[in-house]
Chain A
Amino acid sequence: MDHHTKTNIKHILVANRGEIAVRIIKTARLMKIKTVAIKTAIEPTAMYLSLADDIFDNTEDLSEIPVFLDIEKLISIALKTGADSVHPGYGFLAESAYFAQKCIDNKIIYIGPSPDAIYKMGNKTIARRLALKNGIPMAMGSEGNISNDEEAVKIAEKIGYPVIIKAASGGGGRGMRIVRKAEEMERMFVIASKEAEKAFNDPSVFIEKYIENPKHIEFQILGDTRGNIIHLGERECSIQRKHQKLLEEAPSCALDNNLRKKMGNMAVQIAKTVNYYSAGTVEFLLDSDKNFYFMEMNTRIQVEHPVTEIVTGIDLIEQQIRIANGESLKLKQEDVKLKGWAIECRINAENVQAGFAPDPGKIEKISMPSDPYIRVDTGIQAGSSVLSQYDSMIAKLIVSGKNRKEAIKNCKMALDKVWIKGTKTTLPFFRLLVRNQKFQDGTFTTAFIEKDLDKYYFNSEYEEMLAAWFATKLFVEENLEANSINVDFENSKEMSPWLMNKRLNQF
């Protein structure tokens, strides 16, 4: 891939942290574009800082609001450091129309879509109207926002239960609640609305018919500022829990070329309603009869973008930068060829034995496998911490293969080579998943985790016994010290130094 280009963009402010900051910096380097990253007080030694060309030291700023959410501050940093452009990454301000506009007002290139497109697609009620007007298939729902649970009950009775309450300004699964009967409405309405207010500063919600057991299929879009828009095929993201994606793959085994073409065209059409440029994602639900419904459009680079990069060979961050630079798309729809299969596992610091509760903490050891079929995107190195202020991502393990079967096989091997110590992780969940028949068949839906699994982790036959042996060893060593029971310990008088240390540190 030729990354070199004559460009207006020479210096990017990376307005993000973690793995996505690392990801942006890597492509910028290939394109010989300088980057500036922001050093914060809570993560002064983060990995992304070591890769950037320049660092803006913001460690004196002890404000509770992360700098990555502080528009005025980011603009002033860009101006101070001489950055000519800003990449927002995902999360934080990545879908703030106001931030994009502020950049433009200050003559800073915003590496992303237009403020107008961000605003329209970010407001789900506007997006719904746009889609309806353009004949895009949609689930039935409320005309606009709804103001109270009584109104919600009325609409729900009209379209039929179950319904889903969604945040008008939402995304990423927050502010969403499924309601199966009228009695649940009041409580769910309050929860969804409060969560929406907290997460998006906007309590407005609307209602849609809830599609039971769908697949989550999304299309990657690329558009330039001259009105060319193409899609790069789909990603299947049905493996999710409470609307949080855990594993994504490209392509999806639920689509054949016909359906891919149909949905892809629809995705391009949706993007056209807002004259979309940059990278974006159109999300659909696909029901068991292969009917599809437009859900929402995400106006940013997504966490799961690497699986598309692998099967298309296209660097999406590079495309974003080129498009922001005013270049027209070199690719035509017919140039996009999907090759092979890619699977991404989100290795998060979460406790799969306690409902995937976040388990933040220091990562003491981390070692990721390296093989031609493995790509790892991470912002964590040994000594880094997963902080409760941010998301719980440790690393994305992206595995490919000639076909789905081979990708799953490679994934299974790769999972056993990942070594992380310090927090609990989602690894045992993925170890279970790659061995699950329904996952292997590809017949799973978004209800898979809740309905088809009775436990969320895999352990091989002897693992519990080995753990028991370890507990027994500890007991023996501790009680040898205390000498409280009469045991013949002649042959196990070994108090290893690591154990001593461990105990001194812990207790």
Chain B
Amino acid sequence: MNTKLKIDKLYTLSSENRKFSFPLPLKNKIRIGKRDYIVQLKADEKYGTYILWKNRRYPVEIVRSRQNKYEILFNDISYTFTVETPFSLQRKKVLDSKKGKTEQEFVRAPMPGKIIDVLVREGSAVLRGEPVVILEAMKMQNEIQSPVNGKVIKISTKANTNVLKDDVLVEIKAE
């Protein structure tokens, strides 16, 4: 990395492709329109960690972080962000444009449980919303559905196996 370059801002991208930029050094102020609002990160015994903004407390938590990727739980909703410098953002854009359009989708277990049935085979064509696996958890049989239209390329589980949250169950190639 070129250490001579000065980074004057960071771009924080949400998984839904919304872009926020924050000037460096990062301040406890956020500009909205023509006004600056104070944002404070605080923690105490009663509330744990929270953000104070316009006289209201919002609970905040780090769910996961890896390199520049952060999953944040904010007021009971989780958001995934990647934080990019102007240079890494540029690099990302180039990489993204080189990547093909067809994407591989991993169907993961949304919760720990037991696989009751696999409803598709390798090579099966599936539609978005079509159930692919039945997962039993907390006494309920849950249909795990395909997130995309596509073709099943790999099945990584079978009936009567216990799975953990986020285990890959089925791989689907989107079409």
Contacts and interface: CB of A to CB of B under 8 A. Distances in A.
B48 A365 contact: yes
A121 to B, nearest CB: 21
A474 interface: yes
B10 A475 contact: yes
B76 A424 contact: yes
A4 interface: no
A471 interface: yes
Interface stretch (B38-46, B91-99, B149-157, B167-175): B38-46
Nearest to B3: A486
Given A485-B1, A486-B7, A487-B25, 16 more contacts: A194-B116, A353-B78, A365-B59, A392-B138, A419-B47, A419-B57, A424-B78, A468-B12, A470-B51, A472-B12, A472-B26, A475-B68, A476-B24, A486-B1, A488-B6, A498-B43
Contacts of A488: 6, 24-25
A468 B14 contact: yes
Given A464-B18, A474-B70, A496-B41, A194 B25 contact: no
A132 to B, nearest CB: 30
A469 B22 contact: yes
Interface in A460-480: 462-476, 478
B71 to A, nearest CB: 9
Contacts of A452: none
A475 B59 contact: no
A257 interface: no
22 contacts: A195-B141, A198-B139, A199-B139, A351-B110, A354-B111, A357-B111, A358-B111, A388-B112, A391-B138, A428-B77, A464-B79, A466-B51, A466-B53, A467-B60, A469-B30, A472-B26, A474-B70, A476-B26, A486-B6, A486-B7, A498-B49, A507-B65
Contacts of A496: 41, 43
A258 interface: no
Q: Is the interface of B mostly helix, strand, loop or mixed?
A: strand
Interface string A411-454: 00000100111001101100000000000000000000000000
A419 B45 CA distance: 13
B110 A485 contact: no
Given A195-B141, A358-B137, A471 B46 contact: no
Contacts of A191: 117, 134, 141, 143
B31 to A, nearest CB: 11
B120 to A, nearest CB: 12
Interface string A382-426: 000000100110000000000000000000000010011100110
B79 A468 contact: yes
A486 B79 contact: no
A425 B26 contact: no
Contacts of B106: none
Nearest to A457: B77
A476 B85 CA distance: 11
A61 interface: no
Nearest to B79: A467
Contacts of A174: 139-140
A467 B1 contact: no
A474 B49 CA distance: 13
Interface string A481-494: 00011111111100
Contact of A465 (B3, B20, B70): B20
Nearest to A392: B138
Interface in A330-358: 351, 353-355, 357-358
Interface string A354-372: 1101110000110100000
Contacts of A199: 139
Contacts of B6: 486-488
B134 A470 contact: no
A467 B74 contact: yes
Q: What 7 A-B pairs are tightest by C-beta distance, nearest first?
A: A467-B74, A475-B83, A471-B70, A491-B25, A468-B20, A471-B81, A357-B110
A199 B139 CA distance: 7
A492 B137 CA distance: 45
A425 B76 contact: yes
Contact of A463 (B1, B77, B136): B77
A506 interface: yes
B111 A464 contact: no
A427 to B, nearest CB: 5
A474 B83 CA distance: 10
A492 B25 contact: yes
Contacts of A466: 30, 39, 51, 53, 58, 74
A474 B75 CA distance: 17
B76 A427 contact: yes
A193 to B, nearest CB: 11
B125 interface: no
A459 interface: yes
A467 to B, nearest CB: 4
A469 B20 contact: yes
A502 interface: yes
A478 to B, nearest CB: 8
A129 interface: no
A261 interface: no
A187 interface: yes
Contacts of B138: 358, 388, 391-392
Contacts of A187: 119
A471 B75 contact: no
